[in-house]
Amino acid sequence: MSERTILYIEDNYLNRRLMRKILESQGYKVLEAEDGLKGFEMLSQLRPPLVLLDIGLPGMDGLDIAERAKADESLRHIPLIAVTASAMRGDRERFLAAGCDDYLSKPIQTNELLEKLNQLYPTEVVEE
Ligand code: MN
């Protein structure tokens, strides 16, 4: 993948549209999956450099996706950022325990999002 690519697994259309707008304005290419099964399939087949992951998803939820990805040697290096409105006490720990590398809360704060991407996006991927 020569472009700066991010896979966003999210069932809500408005969230996908907003995220695409923000990320494309920063030069990222956005791949989208609207349910968990499709998302995991894309993650394992395409092995994108970074994944943004909704937790509440039809098919397979975000925690299942994280657990399966981190149990797979060929996928576990891919950074997973959970993106969810869930803000109950202990949620962050639960996401991290499932294998997420970081966590962002909805509604998306553009600055916070871009900061996390700068931290977690693999630097060996050459920007063209
Ligand atoms: Mn959802």
Q: From the CA of 83, how far away is ligand 1's center (Å)? A: 9
What the block records as the tokens of 103 is: 């966590």
3 contacts 128 by C-beta, under 8 angstroms:
yes
Structure confidence at residue 63 (pLDDT): 96
108 contacts 18 by C-beta, under 8 angstroms:
yes
The answer for residues whose C-beta is within 8 angstroms of residue 63's C-beta and 6 or more apart is 55, 94, 95, 98
Q: From the CA of 112, how far away is ligand 1's center (Å)? A: 20
Q: From the CA of 11, how far away is ligand 1's center (Å)? A: 5
Whether the model clears a pTM of 0.85, i.e. scores above it, the answer is yes
39 contacts 14 by C-beta, under 8 angstroms:
no
Structure confidence at residue 122 (pLDDT): 87
The yes-or-no verdict on residue 52 having pLDDT over 90 is: yes
- How many other CB atoms are there within 10 angstroms of residue 91's CB atom? 16
Q: What share of the chain in percent tops pLDDT 90?
A: 82
Q: From the CA of 84, how far away is ligand 1's center (Å)? A: 8
Q: From the CA of 57, how far away is ligand 1's center (Å)? A: 5
